[in-house]
């Protein structure tokens, strides 16, 4: 679910922040990168959880819709010269092929996981959570200590509130 180009294309196509010709020039630049993006995505995926595989498949089917429906409609109404449209359409076809190949690879992973009954849990577990916490929070204490401090502070605040309420 980390690898999906739909949002960027939807934003550029759907928002009127610049003339359509300029937005389509941005789309063209993005389209050139899509095959490499998905090749990199395939290379990066290692032991995904079945839940995330399913999510990625569904999300990228949505990305295909953006490129198969929204982009052609914008192109048609754009008033771009025919050679420019043809160039963008060719890049769009390559981008859609890259997404389809990615979806097929994910579906193969899904089938392998279903056949073998394997696939890691989407839950991190304590050791991975602790490592993630160190990167995300960058606190001087571990998650357990921080949680204990928060509970102690909460108890102190409740005690103080109770005292104020009793006045």
What is the reported pLDDT for 1?
A: 66
Mean pLDDT, range 50-62, rounded to an integer: 92
Separation of alpha carbons 94 and 49, rounded Å: 28
Across all residues in the chain, what is the average pLDDT?
91
User: What would the pLDDT profile of 138-149 be if each residue is shown by its tens digit?
Assistant: 888 888 899 999
Mean pLDDT, range 40-55, rounded to an integer: 90
What residue has token string 């990066």? 44
Instruction: Please state whether the predicted TM-score (pTM) of the whole model is above 0.85.
Output: no
Separation of alpha carbons 130 and 125, rounded Å: 9
What is the reported pLDDT for 27?
A: 94
Q: Which residues contact 48 (CB under 8 A, 6 or more apart)?
A: 56, 109, 119, 120
CA atoms within 13 A on the CB side of 106: 28
What is the reported pLDDT for 112?
A: 87
Mean pLDDT, range 147-153, rounded to an integer: 94
User: What would the pLDDT profile of 102-149 be if each residue is shown by its tens digit?
Assistant: 999 999 999 988 888 787 777 778 888 888 888 888 888 888 899 999
| Least confidently predicted of 2-11, 15-24, 60-69, 121-130 | 121-130
Q: In the chain, pLDDT over 90 holds for what percent of residues?
A: 62
Helix (H) or strand (E) holding 114: helix 82-116
> Is the pLDDT reported for residue 61 higher than 90?
yes
What is the reported pLDDT for 48?
A: 87
Closest of 31, 34, 36 to residue 75, by C-alpha: 31
User: What would the pLDDT profile of 72-99 be if each residue is shown by its tens digit?
Assistant: 999 998 989 999 999 999 999 999 999 9
> Is the pLDDT reported for residue 167 higher than 80?
yes
Closest of 58, 67, 72 to residue 30, by C-alpha: 67
């Amino acid at each position: 679910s980390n690898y999906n180009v739909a949002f960027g294309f939807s934003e550029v196509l759907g928002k009127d922040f610049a003339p359509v010709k300029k937005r389509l020039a941005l789309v063209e630049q993005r389209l050139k990168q899509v095959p490499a993006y998905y090749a990199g995505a395939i290379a990066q995926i290692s032991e995904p959880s079945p839940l995330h595989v399913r999510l990625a498949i569904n999300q990228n089917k949505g990305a295909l819709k953006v490129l198969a429906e929204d982009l052609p409609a914008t192109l048609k109404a754009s008033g771009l010269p025919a050679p420019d449209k043809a160039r963008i359409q060719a890049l769009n076809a390559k981008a859609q092929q890259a997404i389809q190949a990615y979806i097929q690879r994910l579906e193969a992973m899904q089938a392998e996981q279903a056949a073998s009954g394997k696939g890691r849990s989407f839950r991190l577990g304590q050791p991975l959570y602790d490592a993630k916490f160190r990167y995300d929070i960058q606190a001087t204490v571990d998650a357990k200590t921080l949680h204990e401090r928060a509970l102690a502070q909460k108890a102190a605040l409740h005690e103080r509130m109770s005292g104020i309420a009793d006045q």
